[in-house]
Amino acid sequence: MIKRYVLVLIVIIVSSALVYQPVAAKEDTAQITLKKTAVSQKKLYTYTVKKGDILSTIIRNIPGITEEDISNNYQLIKELNPHVPDLNNLEVGQSLVLPGKPFTESEGKDTTTDTSKISSSMGKHYKIKKGDTLIKIIYRELKVRTSILKTLKIIKSINPSIRNINKIYAGNIIKLPGKTIFVKTTEETKAVAQEVVKLSEKTTQPEKIIEIKEKKFMPPEARLAVLKQVITQMNGSSITTTGNYYLPIPKTGQVTIDCSKIPVIEFDDNTMVFLDLENRAHNNLKKMISNNWANYYLVKVNKNDDVIAILKKVINTTKSYSMTKSEKPIMIGAYPPVEVIVDWVIVNTIPKQAKPVKQGLRLVYENNLLLPKSIKNYSQKNGLIITEISEETGIVGKPEEVYSLPPIPVFPTTSAKDFSYALVSSLGLSAEKDVDIQMFDTVQDGFNLSIKADVLIKNENKKYIIYSQSLSPQFANSLKQAGNELIFVNDNDDPKNIMEKILHGLNISFTSGDFTFSGAEKNQAPYSLNFIGTKIKTDKDLYVIDFDIDQELRGLLQEVWSANIAKY
């Protein structure tokens, strides 16, 4: 018995000595950090910070992470990265250690990655088809809906032959990344885990981890402004944020609601929502409202709810609207069709006589990823209102663009002669219409003969004559012998054919086909517009189309791509 007491006493003394070891011991620091993270070493990987990255965006792109997991992963990543002084102000090139997915006790099984499967599925080859763009290929072939710019960069990196991501050619074969492109092998995850230990050993005080700033939340006034803008764009719905709202209770009295604390939302389908932004209302009030009024709801907001989560709660109370995650690009308009990418879509689910307005919500993280105002205006004209939201500042957007545009050149199609003259004049060539061409004169030939040409063009010491009428072989030979080049067109020809004949005759380079202009190519938000036309290459790029183009889009094309537009 005495020996047992002595043994217990020794254990207590040893435990006390361990408790009072210096906190700065390297080995203890490393063990504490890894324990706090609660992440399997096999699931860790490194990520290099790129331009425009913020922590919330990086977390959303971690495999297996949902919206509900985001707040918990902030602390997790802080503890994995004690070497980063401020995770809310990341610098390009910094290395972050990220969890593949939160580790739980049920995940104790060995999840060793099969490297042979990785190598066999790391990519596939794809033959480019007519009309393809890289963004279309990414959506259709890879089923990618987020991280579009990152995927574009990956494709460009594994295809050195692609110098311009917006210029790919039908028939060419490119390599596409496989689904396992971001998977790490067991050896790599072990190496990353060892890197975490080394980084932890450099930290002398584990308490410093707690000093890192917490996630920046959208200010209440900015959050309310987002809610107001989105809700008031729903066919006459409204939100009241001032004054009092009186809710009568049958045979009992009334409830007075302060709208500055609990805004009141009224939808056009008579749904009333009391929005408890600060979780002030008692649960009994919610029961009282639901028991007495069929279309009245009290929606409580949790402290971790962002503006999207709040909107989803509000929209879900209505019978007329739905809010869903956007899974594919949205095509807008017809001439030209414009393709945009949004994160969320709000639509009216009840058919009406008038075409219901659709709303698209874009979550943006840096100003250079904002959509051009001309794209948003064009979208709204075609039934899609796009609202851009920063998770830290609220409503964002580029200012209106003011384009100084000359009148659009129009080639009349009333006759081949008028069309030809307008075309060559727009190309800056010296041209005259209805000109008499002298073939014989009385001094040399004993008689006088001239022929009227539809259009005479002088270019590089050469004369080109355009005729829309038939000409006898003798006259044609005589004109050629005099040093003239002849171009024959016909009033019955399609304007496009007339244009191609003239350009061929003048030896001017041109291309006819489907042209795509991608915002991603210009480091802008992911949008694209395309149209069928003819591109004429002179001292400037002139695109000739056969439809009326939106003037704001025309200005965007000219300013961003130096693309000038003419029509017939």
Give the model confidence (pLDDT) of 286-310 as tens digits. Answer: 777 777 778 888 888 887 889 999 9
Tokens linked to 316: 């879900």
Q: How far apart, in Å, are the Cα atoms of 554 and each of 265, 381, 426, 468, 545? A: 40, 15, 17, 32, 12
- The sign of the torsion formed by the CA atoms of 15, 21, 24, 26 equals negative
pLDDT for 316 beyond 70: yes
Phi and psi at residue 338, to the nearest 5°: -120, 135
pLDDT digits (tens, 9 = 90+) for 353-395: 556 679 999 998 755 589 999 999 999 999 999 999 998 889 9
**Which H or E run includes 457?**
strand 449-459
Report the C-alpha gap between 67 and 77 in whole angstroms: 16
**Tell me, what's the pLDDT at 28?**
32
Does the reported pTM lie above 0.85? no
Q: Whose structure tokens read 């070891």? A: 21
Residue 269 contacts residue 318 (beta carbons within 8 Å): yes
Tokens linked to 453: 């040409």
**Tell me, what's the pLDDT at 459?**
81
Q: Which of 106, 116, 123, 124 lies closest to 185, judged by CA?
A: 116
Query: 470-489: buried (b, 16+ CB within 10 Å) or exposed (e) per residue?
Result: ebeeeebebbeeeebbbbbb
Q: How far apart, in Å, are the Cα atoms of 465 and each of 240, 263, 479, 488, 503? A: 72, 75, 9, 8, 13
Q: How far apart, in Å, are the Cα atoms of 102 and each of 74, 164, 194? A: 12, 39, 19
Residue 553 contacts residue 529 (beta carbons within 8 Å): yes
Looking at the DSSP bridge assignments, the partners of residue 527 are 340
**Tell me, what's the pLDDT at 498?**
94
pLDDT for 456 beyond 80: yes
CATH topology of domain 414-491: Trna Endonuclease; Chain: A, domain 1 (3.40.1350)
pLDDT bracket for residue 449 (50, 70, 90) = low
Task: Over range 466-475, report the average pLDDT.
Answer: 85
pLDDT digits (tens, 9 = 90+) for 2-38: 444 444 444 344 344 433 443 333 333 223 233 333 4
Task: Over range 391-413, report the average pLDDT.
Answer: 89
Q: What is the percent of the chain with per-residue pLDDT over 70, rounded to a whole number?
A: 76
Report the C-alpha gap between 84 and 53 in whole angstroms: 15
Q: What is the dihedral of CA 537, 541, 544, 550, to 10 degrees?
A: 170
Print the SS3 string covering 254-323: EEEEECCCCCEEECCCCCEEEEECCCCCCHHHHHHHHHHCCCEEEEECCCCCCHHHHHHHHHCCCCCEEE
Residue 413 contacts residue 434 (beta carbons within 8 Å): no
pLDDT for 57 beyond 60: yes
pLDDT for 423 beyond 90: yes
Q: Which of 24-38, 118-132, 275-289, 442-456 has the lowest mean pLDDT?
A: 24-38
Domain ranges (residues) in the chain? 25-111+185-211, 120-177, 223-396, 414-491
Task: Over range 530-555, report the average pLDDT.
Answer: 92
CATH number of 120-177: 3.10.350.10
- The sign of the torsion formed by the CA atoms of 474, 477, 478, 479 equals positive
Q: What is the percent of the chain with per-residue pLDDT over 90, rounded to a whole number?
A: 31
Report the C-alpha gap between 245 and 30 in whole angstroms: 57
Residue 358 contacts residue 351 (beta carbons within 8 Å): no
pLDDT bracket for residue 43 (50, 70, 90) = low
Report the C-alpha gap between 258 and 244 in whole angstroms: 5
